[in-house]
Amino acid sequence: MTTTFTAKDVQELRQRTGAGMMDCKKALEENNGDVDKAVEHLRKKGIAKAEKRAGRAASEGQVVSYIHHNGKVGVLVELNCETDFVARTDDFKQLAKHIAEHIAAAAPIGVNKEDVPAEIIERERRIAEEQTRASGKPDNIIQKIVDGKIEAYYKDVTLVSQPWVREPKKSIGDLIKEASAKLGENVQVRRFARFQIGEA
């Protein structure tokens, strides 16, 4: 088998994924030297690793802030990882900054589904039920439609499932998993606050 890639390709791949030399070579071999495909291949592997990591304790990290529109919107985020070493890297700080900026723009209600208050979901469910009934749908499918609408609502308002404002093909969850794969640690948004002047 002839190699169809150069040392420079390997270097590029290492920089883009943070993966080790041998993994990068193997990924290039398995993808006929196509660097983009190799990135995807490694990300998939990396993300699988990140999901295993998600159970590990993440009690280090950084608190970052982002202030928008002349001080009319402000965000504070606690991003956690496993070691202070990783917390001090530029990649980690960059991720925290991107997330804070995203929260300022997209105004999620909570990090995950569990963080959305039950009374908000009840209100959304009532609205969805009334709308679905008003459309004259038969009773036996109303519940299914309402459940679908509530799932969509959760996706809209939880940070990890929101499309990233800078690159809407990725969710914030994807962004975190990529960083986790690259940094080799469990990375989690622990909490955030978003204050906007004049909001009820």
Q: Is residue 195 close enough to count as binding a copy of itself by CB under 8 A?
A: yes
* DSSP letters for 27-56: HHHHTTT-HHHHHHHHHHHHHHHHHHHTTS
CB of 118 to a copy of itself, least distance (A): 19
CB of 114 to a copy of itself, least distance (A): 18
Rg for the chain, CA atoms, rounded: 21
The residue (of 77 and 99) whose beta carbon lies closer to a copy of itself is 77
CB of 161 to a copy of itself, least distance (A): 22
CB of 174 to a copy of itself, least distance (A): 24
User: What distance, in Å, lies between the first and last C-alpha atoms of the chain?
Assistant: 66
Restricting to residues 61-80, which ones interact with a copy of itself according to CB under 8 A?
Answer: 61-67, 70-78, 80
Contact region with a copy of itself (CB under 8 A), list: 36-44, 55-63, 163-171, 173-181:
55-63
User: And the tokens for 79?
Assistant: 């991003």
Among 121, 125, 123, which residue's Cα sits nearest to residue 113? 121
The residue (of 46 and 61) whose beta carbon lies closer to a copy of itself is 61
Instruction: Provide φ and ψ at 171, rounded to 5°.
Output: -85, 165
How many residues touch a copy of itself (CB under 8 A)? 29
Angle in degrees, CA 95, 101, 102, rounded to 5: 85
Q: Which amino acid is at 40?
A: E
The residue (of 73 and 146) whose beta carbon lies closer to a copy of itself is 73
Restricting to residues 110-149, which ones interact with a copy of itself according to CB under 8 A?
Answer: none
CB of 196 to a copy of itself, least distance (A): 7
CA distance 170 to 162: 9
Q: Where are the alpha helices (DSSP H) in the chain?
A: 7-17, 21-30, 35-53, 84-87, 90-106, 118-134, 139-157, 172-183
Restricting to residues 87-116, which ones interact with a copy of itself according to CB under 8 A?
Answer: 87-88, 93
Tokens 């459309």 correspond to 135
The residue (of 10 and 87) whose beta carbon lies closer to a copy of itself is 87
The residue (of 95 and 146) whose beta carbon lies closer to a copy of itself is 95
Interface with a copy of itself (CB under 8 A) = 59-67, 70-78, 80, 87-88, 93, 190-191, 193, 195-198
